[in-house]
Chains A and B, each alone.
Chain A
Amino acid sequence: MSRLRAIAAAAVLVLAALPAALSDFWIFIAIEVIAFALYAVSFNVLLGYGGMLSFGHAAFFGVGAYAGALVVKKAGLAPEAAFALVPLAAMAAAAGVAAVVGFFSVRRSGIYFGMLTFAFQMLLYTIALKATGLTGGDDGITGLKPPGALARPAVYYFFAITMVAPALYVLYRLVNSPFGITLRALKANPRRVQYVGVDVRSHQLATFVISGAFAGLAGAVFALSSGNVFPAWLNWTASATPIVMAVLGGVSTFLGPALGAAVYVVLEVVISGRTEYWPLVMGTIILALVLLMPAGLTGLWRRKGTS
């Protein structure tokens, strides 16, 4: 336990000192890591804990991003007020959309569940692309800027942490709660869990909505850092990202997907800066990972720790 505390304390120190040590470019990357860590962990609550493989999770990340962008650009509020509303608006919008998508999707399981989430995502992608008046269509929404000092990456970095850390804590409590243990039981054996008196669909739907809401928050945190939102964020290829991050880090640990997000984002920056064959490299890494260590990076660590 005290070792865990020491690690946590060290992590806090490193996170606090990081902006001082990094260039603006790398701070920007660090913010991306923070946002995608939440995205991957929220996705993995669905996959790793609930056994539901969504092929459309980018929809919620994207809806959150657009909701945040629209509040900043079109709500007609003072910049500070609009900015304060962003997290709430992003989560509410993503949760609302997730409630509709989830309502239909949890009626099926396995690949059919995945296909339903996939189909809904294509609908939402089309809306983002075609509802030009609202979303800017193909051009997306650009020129987003947090107010005042928050526009500086080194400051926004801390804002991102104050958004993401409590969100991760809530999800952590969730997976260890009665709700969470019931979710794991549901994943292990949906029929049996129904026969202990659990309403399986409601439980799955609630998980879906919570997961979607936090993916939406991640989307908004990232959008305001990058300064823009594009329809491609909702495209189906974007939904592979949280899957890869979760598998890379390990779906059977809570923070594994966060580690996966960090590795993925940094690798992408480093490799795509050097070669145009980034997808080739990523493909090779995923192959090696799934074949050699299916439990992901954290699985490797845990195996070392126990042996």
Chain B
Amino acid sequence: MSDAAAPILSVRALSRRFGGLQALGGVDLEVARGEFRAIIGPNGAGKSTFFNTITGLIRPDGGRVAFAGRDVTCMAPDDLVRAGMGRTFQITSVFADLSALENVQVALLAQARQSWRIWPRAGAMNAERAAELLALVGLAGSAARHAGTLAHGDQKRLELAIALAGEPTLLLLDEPTAGMAAQERIESISLVHRVALQLGVSCVFTEHDMAVVFAVATRITVLHQGLVLAEGTPAEVRANPQVQQVYLGESVIAEGVGT
């Protein structure tokens, strides 16, 4: 079962094919507890597919996934979430018809195993904790707003609050800053970073903006055509000639140096 010494996430030879396309060609990856791991790679590298196979959204063709020492390969998403693996989606995914507060309440109710209670009024249940989580991600003023009417960046933050409500030990964030303005991105990832440190949550995130990556990542894995091209500390990855080759705009990588 759960083993305190085991890495929070350990992936072996994970593969997945879509028709003729090998989206994941046998990926090994190990994430230690407390890490803030970035997964980078060009469009179509397989980053989202990697997240989706780990979190049970799509089945891997082969390979194993261990979460905190426990084999969770092919486990159903809801079981994985209850086991402590939270995630967000590249295309923001919230409950558009519900208020921001209700969005978080739904997640808290599920976390507290109360989703099946049919008699009490849900309105006030966990409302305080939900408000706290909204405040934590900077949405205190938007609790009553319908999630669908929030600005894109705020929806991303709301989705983070939803994921955090599940009290995850591992958080998988697929492009947490996509669609935001440059300045907003750094603020957002710093927020995630702060919260993760505060709550002791390990984190794996994918990201295209190198400034964002270098601002917070403790280690970086580079995916390319479904394979791990390189892995190491930010300095190691930056110095890697293969990585520079994949990222034809080398300056993108170099730019990150300053921040």
Contact = CB atoms under 8 A, between A and B. Distances in A.
Most chain B Cβ neighbours within 10 Å, of A187, A189, A200: A189
B106 A193 contact: yes
Nearest to A194: B77
B59 to A, nearest CB: 15
Interface string B122-141: 11010000000000000000
Contacts, number: 102
Contact of B109 (A173, A182, A191, A195): A182
Contacts of A77: none
Interface residues of B, number: 39
A178 interface: yes
Contact of B115 (A182, A187, A195): A182
B162 A192 contact: yes
B20 interface: no
Could you say which interface size class chain A belongs to?
Answer: 20 to 34
B95 A180 contact: no
B158 to A, nearest CB: 11
A300 B11 CA distance: 55
B116 A189 contact: no
B250 interface: no
Contact of B102 (A179, A181, A187, A194): A181
Nearest to B123: A176
Contact of B78 (A189, A197, A206): A197
A188 B98 contact: yes
Contacts of A185: 95, 98, 102-103, 106
Given A185-B106, A189-B96, A179 B118 contact: yes
Interface string B79-104: 00110001101000111111000110
B81 to A, nearest CB: 4
Contact of B95 (A174, A178, A192, A194): A192
B105 interface: yes
Interface of B is mostly: loop
A181 B165 contact: no
Contacts of A192: 89, 93-95, 162
Contacts of A182: 106, 109-110, 115
Given A187-B97, A194-B78, A196-B81, A178 B162 contact: no
Interface in A184-219: 184-185, 187-189, 191-200, 203, 206
Interface of B: 55, 57, 76-78, 81-82, 86-87, 89, 93-98, 102-103, 105-107, 109-111, 114-123, 125, 162-163, 165-166
26 contacts: A173-B119, A176-B121, A177-B120, A177-B122, A178-B115, A178-B120, A178-B122, A179-B118, A181-B98, A181-B102, A182-B115, A185-B98, A185-B102, A188-B97, A192-B93, A195-B55, A196-B110, A196-B111, A196-B162, A196-B165, A196-B166, A197-B78, A198-B78, A198-B106, A198-B110, A206-B116
Interface of A: 173-174, 176-182, 184-185, 187-189, 191-200, 203, 206
